[in-house]
Structure 1
Amino acid sequence: MMKDQFLIPFKFKNGALIKNRIVMAPMTEMSAFENGAITKDQLDYYAARSGGVGMEITACFNVSAQGKGFEGNPSAASDDMIIGMSKLAQVMKTNGTKAILQIFDAGRMTTSKLLKGKTPVSASAIKADRPGLEPPRALSNEEILTEIQAFAQATRRAILAGFDGVEIHGANTYLIQQFFSPHSNRRSDEWGGNLKNRMKFPLAVIEEVSKIAKTYAKSDFIIGYRISPEEVENPGIRIEETLTFIDQLAQSPLSYLHVSMGDVYRNSLNSPEDPEPINKKIQKRLAGRLPMIVVGGIEKPSEAQQVMTDGFEFVALGRALIREPKWVQKVIAEDEKSIRYTVSPTDVDDLAIPMPLWGFLSTVFKPIAGISTETSPEVNFTKAAAPWEKF
């Protein structure tokens, strides 16, 4: 058996060839201009991490003005963003790395301040159980149809900008997940209520994105879908509903399924007595119908190899690539001993880490990682779930 199976190429059913199984996970860098346009800091950040990984997935780009989720959120909501998006796609596609644009709408996970006074929207007028958020406004049927088309048009822009694919962000409590969730979706029309109706919005987004890809892109254009398998809220998403949803996703025109969790091997949050990892449950249900990307807590080459041994097709690295942009190149060069597992403030420029991201990592993240902000000159990202990877 090959020592580093994650270096073996993979071909999707549509013919897209990925040079290896290492994926850069989508991570919020909070570094776009106020209007969502791409900055040089973002170009430098992604350029530094391209070339080695098989696929590089961007931070989430909002598909509509009302979908902005945070300061520095990049946008794919209008055609005037295509020029900057093109520059980003170009720097990401170094040495055969596939450039994937992640598209999303924050839904209720934003604020009226960010939206310049407009009320956030969601499937229903149910406030999220998170501090600092406010009750959203329920989307009308006409607005839902418009929102679906916003995902399609963002995909068109991604294609025109030269991206190799898009990842539909149906995870991390954002709008698509809000339609699937019984906590945020209390509708009584065709878009809510029972499980079948709650699946309708995400499946409609996939269908329209696929139509755009067939119209504007080559046949090997990649369409991924990111999912959060559970919620802790009650009512909330439970793994049984997710497995039913996965049956529908497996029949859709997707290239891959990306499961968003802070630990590749964690078991159920709601049924801790069940020892089987969530990802193994999903893997069994898919039965090879879609390749999986798994993420969470993978730092070392030996850990990535274990993911391959367990039969998963791709492993995504998040924090590991923040601190070590040349992770794959060092493995190929058999120089694993030089892989960084900590980051010093003196490394920030060399690593092309944008200052908004560094500010987040060196304040919010340090306590999570168990590191003193007063005494430690380094940030150790190992074995602590980043906020963007939770649930």
Structure 2
Amino acid sequence: MKDSALFKSAQLGPYTLKNRIVLPPLTRSRSSQPGNVPNDLMATYYRQRAGAGFMVTEGTQIEPRGQGYAWTPGIHSPEQVKGWRKVTSAVHAEGGTIFAQLWHVGRVSHTSLQPDGAAPVAPSAIPAESVKVFIETGPGQGALAPPSPPRALTTTEVKELVQLYAQAARNALDAGFDGVEIHCANGYLVNQFISAHTNRREDEYGGSLQNRLRFLREVTQAVADVVGNNRLGVRFAPLFATTEEDRVYLGLVEDDPHKTYLEAVKVLEEIGIAYVSLAEADWDNAPELPQSFRADVRQNFSGRILYAGKYTAERGIRVIEAGWGDLIAFGRPFIANPDLPKRIANNWPLNPVDPATMYGGTDKGYTDYLTYQQ
């Protein structure tokens, strides 16, 4: 497949990518404690996967309240910034391009993960259902738990959060990242503002769709002002439910996802960001994005379009050749195959991923997967 669309170079903002294969954000919970600090092991992990045309880090919380899972890294303390420099230096030494994903979980958290055991923050005081968070129960030990009931942010606090995103972007540049991606998907904070199911605010950030998109607009613009709009991406996870079972997805399936996310994409086009990442549902028999939605996104967004979600190389090639997207992300295959681009190019078989070592732990199931040549 080395002559396929996946291996044609692509321009992403100021960067010329060597291929169109992307390492997407993948939570692995390997940061050093205390302090959620990126470490040498994480630097090795990303360096091993620098054969990707483009890489996005695991979600990294922009402030202490942004954490929803044990042992995930942050990008708000000097120690964390120093730790991330190890990662970016390792990737750049291999000729890679890497963006930091800026993350705030909002209501999808637990009091044990919050400063002073406080309630998580959210647009409205509506608890998250049908989802679990991961909390530490002892040194190196953790367990799933339901999220704690959140409290609603004041209008002043919302505006302060916009500035916290901007500061996180400054920290990312200081850490040597090539750009940043804002996590606006999967039921986390920005997504909570967008959704009518979780945003019942009566101020300028609630009510109409345009008001619910205001936080997205302000955060994206504030970050673009720091890093440059050509070094900025945004990730969404639009879900087009076909059954009632599909609709139970963090309670955030929109009544009209096509309209909601198309309007969101138009906001990003106005700001002029480099790419939009669309994370499709990845469970068995999950609904695919309608072609009409893909076409409308392409028509209304002039930057690069990235797709992720149980993609095979063949399916990715079809999406690129059809003109729906430009870049294809491979999650679990990249976890188990650090040399994934070479394996795809040469039609080499793939290592299977070990689900038991996905989150937390040591190098096992993290940096000890062998390349094909090994």
What TM-score do you get using the length of structure 2 for normalisation? 0.82
1:309 corresponds in structure 2 to 321
1:10 aligns with 2:10: yes
Q: Distance in 1 between matches of 2:268 and 2:117?
A: 36
- Provide structure 2 residue ranges, at least 5 long, that are not aligned to the other structure: 132-145, 242-246, 370-374
1:27 corresponds in structure 2 to 26
**Which of residues 211, 217, 225 is equivalent to 2:234?**
225
Q: Distance in 1 between matches of 2:308 and 2:329?
A: 5
Q: Distance in 1 between matches of 2:82 and 2:26?
A: 22
Say which is worse superposed, 177-186 or 129-138, in terms of deviation. Answer: 129-138
Does the CA contact (< 8 Å) of 2:30 and 2:359 recur in 1?
Answer: no
- Over 3 Å counting, the alpha-carbon distance change for 1:142 and 1:224 in structure 2 is same
2:335 corresponds in structure 1 to 322
- Over 3 Å counting, the alpha-carbon distance change for 1:149 and 1:319 in structure 2 is same
Question: How big is the shift at 1:40?
Answer: 2.4
Question: How big is the shift at 1:192?
Answer: 0.7
1:342 corresponds in structure 2 to 352
Question: How big is the shift at 1:307?
Answer: 2.6
* Amino acid paired to 2:266: D
* Amino acid paired to 2:103: F
Does the CA contact (< 8 Å) of 2:336 and 2:365 recur in 1?
Answer: no
Partner of 2:148, secondary structure, is coil
Does the CA contact (< 8 Å) of 1:266 and 1:277 recur in 2?
Answer: no
Question: How big is the shift at 1:95?
Answer: 3.5
Question: How big is the shift at 1:92?
Answer: 2.2
- Provide structure 1 residue ranges, at least 5 long, that are not aligned to the other structure: 269-275, 361-377, 379-391
- Over 3 Å counting, the alpha-carbon distance change for 1:100 and 1:235 in structure 2 is closer
Q: Distance in 1 between matches of 2:320 and 2:128?
A: 36
1:271 corresponds in structure 2 to none
What TM-score do you get using the length of structure 1 for normalisation? 0.79
Q: Distance in 1 between matches of 2:316 and 2:73?
A: 30
1:171 corresponds in structure 2 to 185
**Which of residues 148, 168, 175 is equivalent to 2:162?**
148
Does the CA contact (< 8 Å) of 1:182 and 1:236 recur in 2?
Answer: no
Q: Distance in 2 between matches of 1:293 and 1:154?
A: 23
Matches within 5 A, 1:1-391: 3-12=3-12, 14-34=13-33, 35-50=35-50, 52-115=51-114, 116-130=116-130, 132-214=146-228, 222-230=231-239, 232=247, 236-237=253-254, 238-239=256-257, 240-263=259-282, 277-278=289-290, 281-287=293-299, 288-299=301-312, 301-311=313-323, 312-332=325-345, 334=346, 336-337=347-348, 339-343=349-353, 355=361
1:383 corresponds in structure 2 to none
Q: Distance in 2 between matches of 1:344 and 1:171?
A: 25
Does the CA contact (< 8 Å) of 2:41 and 2:363 recur in 1?
Answer: no
Partner of 2:94, secondary structure, is helix
Partner of 2:111, secondary structure, is coil
- Over 3 Å counting, the alpha-carbon distance change for 1:197 and 1:343 in structure 2 is closer
| Cα deviation digits, residues 291-324 of structure 1 (max 9, x gap) | 211011123x333322322221000010111111
Question: How big is the shift at 1:206?
Answer: 0.5
Q: Distance in 1 between matches of 2:319 and 2:270?
A: 25
Question: How big is the shift at 1:114?
Answer: 1.2
| Cα deviation digits, residues 97-140 of structure 1 (max 9, x gap) | 21110001010000001114111000000111135122201111
* Amino acid paired to 1:342: P
Q: Distance in 1 between matches of 2:158 and 2:321?
A: 42
Does the CA contact (< 8 Å) of 1:38 and 1:85 recur in 2?
Answer: yes
* Amino acid paired to 1:181: S
| Cα deviation digits, residues 236-264 of structure 1 (max 9, x gap) | 42312112222222222310000112349
* Amino acid paired to 2:262: L
- Over 3 Å counting, the alpha-carbon distance change for 1:54 and 1:20 in structure 2 is same
- Over 3 Å counting, the alpha-carbon distance change for 1:97 and 1:197 in structure 2 is same
Question: How big is the shift at 1:357?
Answer: 9.0
Question: How big is the shift at 1:343?
Answer: 4.5
Q: Distance in 1 between matches of 2:88 and 2:44?
A: 12
Partner of 1:93, secondary structure, is helix
Question: How big is the shift at 1:94?
Answer: 4.2
* Amino acid paired to 1:33: S
- Over 3 Å counting, the alpha-carbon distance change for 1:304 and 1:341 in structure 2 is farther
